[in-house]
A and B are shown apart, each in its own frame.
Chain A
Amino acid sequence: MSGGEAHVDNSIWMRAVVIGGVFLAIGVLAFATMGVGVANVKHHDYEDAQHDYEEAKDLYYTAKDAYTAAAADENTTATELSALEDEKTTLKKAYDDAHHHEIEAHLSYLTWRTAGVTILLMCITYAAFMALGGFVNSVQPSEDDGHQESHYGGDDHEHHGSASPIVFALGLMLFLMGYPKFQEVLGNMLSGADFALGDLSMSMLGLTIVTIGIANWWREDLPFIGNGEQIATSAPFEGQHIRKAGLWVFIMSEIMVFATFFSSYLRMRTGWCTKWSWDEGTCRELDLDGNGVTDVFASHELHPDFVMTASDYLRPDGAAGTGDFWTMLPGAVNTFALIISSYTIVLALKTAKAKNWEAPKGALGKLMPTQKAAIRNYLFATFLLGSLFIVLKLIEWSHLVAEGFTIGSQAGSIFFISTGAHGVHVFVGLLVMLYLVFKADTVGYDEKNAQGIEYFGLYWHFVDLAWVVIFPAFYLY
């Protein structure tokens, strides 16, 4: 370390490029094993189950027709009719079992396929994030070559402010302006339809500026060892770190965003006739066309005025009849994963701020032999738990879509938009966390520069807090 900042040479930036390569390898490996290897085996099982189902269906309907014909025939004896009825009952059970097995096989296939594809796409994004950030900085002249002691000229009194967020925001705005065309061109590319590469210009310009913004942000923050933190000099945050105040104002705006989703959901939910509201007697004035509500919900043939929510598919007593312990599991595991990840980031900060840190005893001590390694590993554990959240969420989505709960319905629209917006927040947090892990592994954190972990932790806890509202509202109620 020199002057007011740590010295960061190009080899450190190249390490980010190497880490990007490692992520790419992990993604390809996970996709090859889960998304292709296991998923193909599961797909064969699914095809066999489909075949068994079709056979069982034919046998059942043949037996049913035979029974109906025999019942109409005056020459059929009671013993023959009873035997035919027994056969029909047995085959109906086999038909139901085959149908159940087919659904199970399909969902099992979707689980492995979705997990493989999700991990691949996540790792590609992680790899691009790390490799691009590292590469852009590694090709710039080293600070030693410029005869400067540090990025801020070694002046301890220079502030740690940055224009990079503005550059980043500008790039993001351009990307979103070009997003409709971006999505259209990508769709056409994947489906083999005609497309014009020029349509990508706006979004690509945006992504380039985003990359420059992020890379420059890294370059400014990585050497930061705690000197030059800007302090607010006027009310209402007088004496407080400006970055912390800014983050709280950002969280304030985020509360509004999620409140918008939640109030929209409440508005729709209070107007829907769900099984729960029916059971409570709040929508019984609806004309049921002679169908009892139990039959309507049990048969899956819904009355147009009845609404199935995501929780109807996931809860054990949900109206769709598809819910059990296993359908609740991904959402429940995700809830625990977020809470544990909130605690691991608290541990990372606590370790960074500890003045007399001692390595824990036993197995944990081997994982965390030094303070630097402990901070990095706590952050990495947070990163893994967040990644698990995304994978489980997409597996759950794939199951819901397969069971007929799509974004095309009003209930599906608010569910996928709200949980999707939350998922995007988690994923953006994971990218930032990657950088924190990288910094913890290179320059390192201590009690002087631990604000990076603290401020990111505030964002991460907010994401956890949003899930505290989303999970019961969308999954349990």
Chain B
Amino acid sequence: MGEHEASGIFEKTFDGLLGQDIYFWNFIILMVFTLAEVGAVFFVGIPLTAVWAILIGVGIVKGYGIAAYFMHLKGDPRIYTRTALFPVLFVVLMIWGIGLSNPDGVDALPGWCKPDWDYANTR
């Protein structure tokens, strides 16, 4: 965070532009995208999928801006990025396994998920 030099297209384009550093431009981009995010819900009538696309797209850009530049994963040793990404596997599994794949998970668990359930109840 603010201690190493990072290089890339974004840095080459924005670092030093109008006398401002990369953090300033990252901040401006985050503000603009947030405006788009909040503004999207005021456009009544646009399809749900379009709203979803805007929200997810904006979320990815904002997440990248914060993690890469404010948290300085871009420029810090790779081990920090790996540490940050380590839980992604579990997060994906949770979102897919719990969040999206089994809407009846709470009320209608399959039999193999609850062995001896009746026995435990009667006992």
Interface positions of A (Cβ within 8 A of B):
236-237, 240, 244-245, 248-249, 251-253, 255-256, 259-260, 262-267, 270-271, 276, 279-280, 315-317, 325, 328, 332, 335-336, 339-340, 342-343, 346-347, 349-350, 353, 454, 457-458, 461-462, 464-465, 468-469, 471-472, 476-477
Contact = CB atoms under 8 A, between A and B. Distances in A.
Contacts of A465: 63, 66-67, 71
Contact of A260 (B3, B83, B94): B94
B111 interface: no
Interface string B17-32: 0000101100100110
Contacts of B52: 477
B62 interface: yes
B73 to A, nearest CB: 9
Given A263-B95, A267-B102, A317-B44, A477 B55 contact: yes
A101 B71 CA distance: 46
Given A266-B95, A267-B103, A454-B3, A468 B41 contact: no
Summarize A's interface: helix, strand, loop or mixed.
Answer: helix
Nearest to B97: A263
Given A259-B94, A461-B71, 7 more contacts: A263-B91, A266-B98, A267-B99, A343-B24, A346-B70, A454-B1, A476-B37
Contact of A472 (B37, B77, B86, B87): B37
B80 interface: yes
B98 A263 contact: yes
A476 B84 contact: no
Task: Name the 6 nearest CB pairs between A and B, nearest first.
Answer: A266-B99, A263-B99, A271-B103, A259-B91, A263-B94, A343-B27
A270 B42 contact: no
Contacts, number: 142
Contacts of A464: 66, 70
B27 A270 contact: no
A457 B72 CA distance: 10
Interface in B37-83: 37-38, 40-42, 44, 48, 51-52, 55, 58-59, 62-63, 66-67, 70-71, 77, 79-80, 82-83
A249 B86 CA distance: 10
Given A256-B90, A336-B34, A349-B2, A476 B41 contact: yes
Contacts of B62: 468
A458 B99 contact: no
Given A267-B103, A336-B34, A236 B1 contact: no
Most buried by A among B1, B40, B58: B1
Contact of A477 (B51, B71, B103): B51
Contacts of B106: 267
Contacts of B97: 263
A472 B59 contact: yes
B38 A316 contact: no
Contacts of B86: 252
B8 to A, nearest CB: 18
A267 B35 CA distance: 29
B105 interface: yes
Given A316-B44, A454-B3, A462-B71, A339 B30 contact: yes
B113 interface: no
B120 interface: no
B100 interface: yes
A240 B77 CA distance: 9
A291 B56 CA distance: 34
A319 B98 CA distance: 27
A458 B59 contact: no
Contact of A349 (B1, B31, B44, B51): B1
A353 B91 CA distance: 35
Contacts of B48: 276, 279-280
11 contacts: A260-B94, A263-B91, A332-B38, A335-B37, A339-B31, A342-B30, A343-B23, A343-B24, A457-B71, A461-B70, A477-B52
Nearest to A311: B41
Given A336-B34, A477-B55, A346 B102 contact: no
A335 B38 contact: yes
Contacts of B103: 267, 270-271
Nearest to A343: B27
A193 to B, nearest CB: 35
A350 B86 CA distance: 29
A472 B38 CA distance: 8
Contacts of A353: 2-3
Contacts of B105: 267
B45 to A, nearest CB: 8
Contacts of A349: 1-3
